[in-house]
Amino acid sequence: MTRWTFGNTTLHILQGDLTTMQTDAVVNAANSRLAGGGGVDGAIHRAAGHMRLQQVCQEIIREIGSLPPGQAVITPGFDLHAEHIIHTVGPIWRGGSEGEPEQLENAYANSLRLARDHDISSIAFPAISCGVYGYPVEQAARIALGTLMDSLKEGLVQEAAMVLHGKDAYDAWLDTAQTILPRH
């Protein structure tokens, strides 16, 4: 695990399992129907208790229709160590000319604003859109880390973590962090 501090706030980059994080909230890289699925989304649904989480997610979808890329909603964490799950939809990579960078930045920023609005002080993120949605890892890392750094400096949360699955992902994000974040 590597960390950066910005005043009295901290950013961690670590390799691990998002579903075991002991933070106030974890972020789910959800689909627009909040239906669970593969990757991080499926793992969070299984670990939280699929039936209860799915029931709450479907109530949200009945109210809003679908969750567009870049937006975020919050549910209880149920069986997770985290009290809350913030669900956000990242963009599907289509070459970068269809608003994907802005949508990805919004996914992180809106999750952090929602955390602030619910008095959440610690939050853990996956690499949103970097799995089956195909976002290039280095570009996603630059957007995510820049947004996290700015949000921490604003004091939206006290502590944020990027929790990466596997050594290759961890190494790629750490390499990007070391080029764009201030030395610690």
Residue tagged 């969070």 (tokens): 44
Beta strand 84-88 with 9-15 is: unpaired
H/E element holding 25? strand 25-29
Q: Is 116 helix (H, G, I), strand (E, B) or coil?
A: helix
pLDDT band (50, 70, 90) for residue 184: low
Q: Could you say which DSSP state residue 115 is in?
A: H
Q: For residue 103, what are the contacts with CB-CB under 8 A and spacing of at least 6? A: 69, 70, 90, 91
Provide the pLDDT for residue 102. 98
CATH superfamily of 2-180: Leucine Aminopeptidase, subunit E, domain 1 (3.40.220.10)
Q: What confidence tens digit (pLDDT) does each residue in 21-62 have? A: 999 999 999 999 999 988 999 999 999 999 999 999 999 999
Residue tagged 């955390």 (tokens): 115
Provide the pLDDT for residue 37. 87
Provide the pLDDT for residue 182. 86
Phi, psi of 72 (to 5 degrees): -145, 150
Q: Where are the domains of the chain?
A: 2-180
Q: What confidence tens digit (pLDDT) does each residue in 90-134 have? A: 999 999 999 999 999 999 999 999 999 999 999 999 999 999 999
> Packing angle between helix 100-117 and helix 137-154, nearest 10 degrees?
30
Q: Compute the distance between CA of residue 14 and CA of residue 84 in angstroms, rounded to an integer.
A: 20
Q: What confidence tens digit (pLDDT) does each residue in 148-179 have? A: 999 999 999 999 999 999 999 999 999 999 99
Whether 119 is catalytic is: no
Q: What confidence tens digit (pLDDT) does each residue in 78-100 have? A: 999 999 999 999 999 999 999 99
CB atoms within 10 A of CB 109: 19
- Annotated active-site residue in 17, 24, 41, 168: 41
Task: Evaluate if residue 1 carries a pLDDT over 90.
Answer: no
Identify the CA nearest to 25 among candidates 178, 164, 159: 159
